Chain A
């Protein structure tokens, strides 16, 4: 790796010990010898296997659940339903005071997405658990479903999640997260061109090679050890404690090597029910998603729709940007309220624009709850923003890199969400990228700096 030391030369300490040199991963030796321990590389005598009975409907009322036939099958130890869950209502971000609780561990009167957990079967083998899960009879009254952002926002749309009472999340700032900076309408009036475009994306599954799961072992004194591949150890500990209504010190979470997460293992989904099952049966419990569950049930990145309206001057300066964004959270909040909030702050992008207005909505639909995935709330926004930047450059007849340099934020610039810019390096990145790609810009763009704005 070559370090280009000409950038920020006066800020640089060149006595680098690690930077720029390859380092072996500390876990690589374990990985190549097969010795790294993943959560499922354990086996406990008497361990039970948990399989979920899941909703086949997008939206339905549960009239009755009949477990009698399933319970009679050989190997079945116990079947848990909503009644067995001490505090059967939660939301992950309660821990940072973001409510309301809006999701059941096991469905009570309704299911709100296809795949929602309704009953948990515990059996001596995975095969017995799977067979019994298929025999649990659930009587559903199918309800009309809301399957995309447009449908959710119709005046007559069915309400997806009663804990919110409307098909969008209510922030303290109102029906969406808002950013207001300057006067966006005045900016549009001053502009030579207006470009108004809408971008959309589908849900994306992380598809880690190791599926989500945990193994819980009851210990003496009403304590439990939970071996899990969670990416959020402390959220998991606290959320499990709240759902089971047990003090946190009774729970010992053991993490370790995670076989790919990408944000998909940040939700607290498998652990609460597995710990409860271990508590109620007194036996070790393994709950591991099948590949089908990983693909269909685990939270994906949510679908997004982003409308960007920009006003630009003939010389290339962007003078106004108005963004309306909708993030499809699916049936429950999980981490999406945070994703939509992050999007609001991010939307002007790494550009300095004097007039900005952003409305970012978190929408509920009867789809698989979406959640964290690699820069969620930002990544799809960046796709939209950068496509928009290319279109704007074309509109004013400028080189796309030069157009970005012209509008790039510099140190000291105020961002639309009122954070001053520090440590910017966008201009330098584009300078180097243009050199590496052999895609030259006019000479004066190489003299620009993120540290100061040229006169």
Chain B
């Protein structure tokens, strides 16, 4: 299997690897770059656990080829906290019990961040729409919806 060189920015740092052609971004992140904060729950685009943000847009890393990410800017949940301070979304997820087993949490947080990056004051419907591609088998979703709404309120009140 021919190897291809990939290079992109991962959470603000340069990352480069050789991967087999056809390797998914999820595979490259987890198996080659040790970025195990990204989870794989289905490897077929149906659960959202593998969600990352690529050049500002929410993407499923299990359906994205690593070689299509040349020079892209990739963000995972690992970069959400800044300087030891949790992101408002992370704080809200802890406080509202929006994470139980935690396996969906990385993807949920990425979906939520992509939402708040584009819409700082989402409605409940916006939140539901934004996480509709992310499956959580533990929480029943309501605490997650509440967490995202709480985070948006916290972020807008500190900004004001």
| Contacts known (A25-B97, A32-B99, A257-B101); A209 close to B41, Cβ less than 8 A | yes
Once bound together, how far apart are the Cα atoms of A208 and B78, in whole Å? 23
Q: Count chain A CB atoms within 10 A of each CB in B77, B103, B138 and give the residue with the most.
A: B103
Is B81 in contact with A33, judged by CB distance below 8 angstroms?
Answer: yes
Is B42 in contact with A291, judged by CB distance below 8 angstroms?
Answer: yes
Instruction: Report if A336 contacts B (CB, 8 A).
Output: no
Is A291 in contact with B41, judged by CB distance below 8 angstroms?
Answer: yes
| Contacts known (A29-B94, A207-B137); A34 close to B37, Cβ less than 8 A | yes
Instruction: Report if B76 contacts A (CB, 8 A).
Output: yes
Question: Which residues from A are CB-within-8-Å of B34?
Answer: 43
Segment 111-157 of A: residues with Cβ below 8 Å from B: none
Question: Which residues from B are CB-within-8-Å of A290?
Answer: 43
Report the nearest A residue to B37, measured CB to CB.
A34
Is A28 in contact with B93, judged by CB distance below 8 angstroms?
Answer: yes
Interface residue count for B (Cβ, 8 Å)? 39
Q: Which of A30, A34, A38, A258 contacts B76 (CB 8 A)?
A: A34
Is A211 in contact with B31, judged by CB distance below 8 angstroms?
Answer: no
Instruction: Report if B119 contacts A (CB, 8 A).
Output: no
Is B43 in contact with A291, judged by CB distance below 8 angstroms?
Answer: yes
Q: Count chain A CB atoms within 10 A of each CB in B38, B76, B77, B99 and give the residue with the most.
A: B99
Interface residue count for A (Cβ, 8 Å)? 33
Instruction: Report if A349 contacts B (CB, 8 A).
Output: no
Is A28 in contact with B103, judged by CB distance below 8 angstroms?
Answer: no
Q: Name the distance in Å between B63's Cβ and chain A's nearest Cβ.
A: 13
Binds A, one of B66-74, B104-112, B125-133: B104-112
Q: Name the distance in Å between B139's Cβ and chain A's nearest Cβ.
A: 10
Is A34 in contact with B138, judged by CB distance below 8 angstroms?
Answer: no
Q: Name the distance in Å between A411's Cβ and chain B's nearest Cβ.
A: 33
Instruction: Report if A98 contacts B (CB, 8 A).
Output: no
Segment 3-46 of B: residues with Cβ below 8 Å from A: 30-31, 34, 36-39, 41-44, 46
Segment 1-57 of A: residues with Cβ below 8 Å from B: 22, 24-25, 27-38, 40-43
Is A32 in contact with B94, judged by CB distance below 8 angstroms?
Answer: yes
Q: Name the distance in Å between A6's Cβ and chain B's nearest Cβ.
A: 27
Question: Which residues from B are CB-within-8-Å of A257?
Answer: 101-102
Instruction: Report if A262 contacts B (CB, 8 A).
Output: yes
Once bound together, how far apart are the Cα atoms of A258 and B101, in whole Å? 6
Report the nearest A residue to B94, measured CB to CB.
A28
Question: Which residues from B are CB-within-8-Å of A32?
Answer: 77, 80, 86, 89-90, 93-94, 99, 105, 109
Number of CB contacts from chain A to chain B under 8 A: 98
Report the nearest B residue to A128, measured CB to CB.
B1
Once bound together, how far apart are the Cα atoms of A262 and B90, in whole Å? 25
Q: Which of A35, A206, A210 contacts B103 (CB 8 A)?
A: A210
Is A28 in contact with B99, judged by CB distance below 8 angstroms?
Answer: yes
Question: Which residues from B are CB-within-8-Å of A36?
Answer: 102
Report the nearest A residue to B93, measured CB to CB.
A32
| Contacts known (A209-B137, A260-B138); A31 close to B102, Cβ less than 8 A | yes
Once bound together, how far apart are the Cα atoms of A30 and B90, in whole Å? 10
| Contacts known (A33-B81, A33-B90, A291-B44); A259 close to B95, Cβ less than 8 A | no
Is B78 in contact with A31, judged by CB distance below 8 angstroms?
Answer: no
Is B101 in contact with A259, judged by CB distance below 8 angstroms?
Answer: yes
Once bound together, how far apart are the Cα atoms of A104 and B34, in whole Å? 36
Report the nearest B residue to A206, measured CB to CB.
B137
| Contacts known (A28-B99, A209-B103); A38 close to B77, Cβ less than 8 A | no
Question: Which residues from A are CB-within-8-Å of B102?
Answer: 27-28, 30-31, 36, 257, 259
Once bound together, how far apart are the Cα atoms of A187 and B77, in whole Å? 63
| Contacts known (A32-B90, A33-B80, A33-B81); A209 close to B37, Cβ less than 8 A | no
Once bound together, how far apart are the Cα atoms of A352 and B101, in whole Å? 38
Question: Which residues from A are CB-within-8-Å of B46?
Answer: 291
| Contacts known (A32-B90, A34-B37, A43-B31); A209 close to B49, Cβ less than 8 A | yes
| Besides A28-B93, A291-B47, 15 other A-B contacts (C-beta < 8 A) | A25-B94, A25-B97, A32-B86, A32-B93, A32-B99, A33-B90, A34-B38, A38-B39, A38-B103, A43-B31, A206-B137, A207-B137, A258-B101, A259-B103, A291-B43
Binding site for B on A (CB under 8 A): 22, 24-25, 27-38, 40-43, 206-211, 257-262, 290-291
Closest 5 CB pairs of A and B: A34-B37, A31-B102, A259-B103, A41-B36, A291-B42
